[in-house]
Amino acid sequence: MPRKIAAGNWKMNGLQADMVELSKLAADHASAKVDVLICPPATLIAGCKDLPFQIGGQDCHPHESGAHTGDISASMLADAGATAVLTGHSERRTDHGEMDADVAAKSKAAYAAGLKAVICIGETLTEREAGTTLNVIDTQLAGSIPDTATAANTVIAYEPVWAIGTGKVPTLEQIGEVHDHIRAKLAARFDDGADFSLLYGGSVKGSNAVEIFGVSNVDGALVGGASLKAADFSPIIHALEGTSL
C-alpha cells in the first residue's frame, strides 16, 4: 500500500523565527496518522532534528562533494538530519534549466545518501492546452526516475506547473486522469509500482484538500504556500488522516 504523505515545501521562505510554526504544528501532529514531511530551506534543516516530522531538502547536487560553489549534496542533507529531498521541482527545472537527466542523476545521488527522492513532474499550461499532458508526463517519468527506484526510496509528485502558486487547481477528473496514468506506468515498469506514493501538488489548501484526497491514486499532497503556517497546513494533514480539526 502506498504511504500517505503530507509534504510541505517552504521554497526560499523561512528564517529561524519561523521555526515557531513547526513547533505549533508539532503540538497538534506529533502522532500524525500519515507521514508529515517538511522541506524547509537548507539553513533550517539541522534545527528541525527534535521535531516529530520527516525533514527534506529542496534540491541536491548529483555529486557527493567537490568544486560546486553554492550547491548542497545529498549526503550533506542527510548529515544535517534530512531523510528526503525534492528533485525536479518545476521551479528548479525553470530557474536552473534542469532537464530530466539531471533530475534522474540527483535522485540517484539521493538514494546513494540514503534519502528518499520526491521526484516532481508536471505539464505547463501550454502543454495542457495543446492536449499533450500525458505525453509530457510519460517523457518525464521515463527520464526522471532512475531504474533503481522503488516504492521505499521514491515518491512521485504530480504538480501541474500552471497550478503552482496560482490558486488554479485542475478539476478532480483531470487530477484523477493523470494519477491513474502515472500509477499504470509505474506498475508496468516497477515490480512495486502499485506501492509508490503519488502526491498531487498545486494550490492545495485546507478548503480543497478533502476532495483532492478523495481522487483515485492520490496518496497525499506536496504543498507550497499553505505549508508555511501551522494554521494552514494543519487542516491539510487532518484531511489526509481523515480526522476532524
Contact residues for ligand PEP (CB under 6 A)? 9, 11, 159, 164-165, 201-204, 222-226
Contacts of 187 (CB under 8 A, 6+ apart): 193, 194
* Least distance between ligand PEP and beta carbon 203 (Å): 4
The single residue of 61, 159, 179, 238 carrying the catalytic annotation is 159
Whichever of 128 and 190 has its CB closer to ligand PEP, that residue is 128
Using CA atoms, how far residue 52 sits from 75, 77, 148, 166, 240, in Å, is 21, 17, 29, 30, 17
* Least distance between ligand PEP and beta carbon 8 (Å): 9
DSSP run (H or E) holding 209? helix 206-213
Whichever of 220 and 225 has its CB closer to ligand PEP, that residue is 225
* Least distance between ligand PEP and beta carbon 229 (Å): 12
In terms of Cα–Cα distance, which of 53, 119, 52 is closest to 85?
A: 119
Q: 208 is written with which cell numbers?
A: 480543497
In terms of Cα–Cα distance, which of 26, 27, 59 is closest to 40?
A: 59
* Least distance between ligand PEP and beta carbon 16 (Å): 22
Whichever of 32 and 204 has its CB closer to ligand PEP, that residue is 204
The single residue of 89, 91, 98, 238 carrying the catalytic annotation is 89
* Least distance between ligand PEP and beta carbon 196 (Å): 18
Backbone angles phi, psi at 217, to 5 degrees: 65, 20
Whichever of 102 and 159 has its CB closer to ligand PEP, that residue is 159
What letter does residue 192 receive in the DSSP assignment?
A: T
Q: How many residues does the chain have?
A: 245
Residue whose Cβ sits closest to ligand PEP: 224
Identify whether 89 is a catalytic site residue.
yes
In terms of Cα–Cα distance, which of 94, 112, 107, 92 is closest to 156?
A: 107
Whichever of 83 and 208 has its CB closer to ligand PEP, that residue is 208
In angstroms, the CA 193 to CA 136 distance is 19
- Tell me the catalytic residues: 89, 159
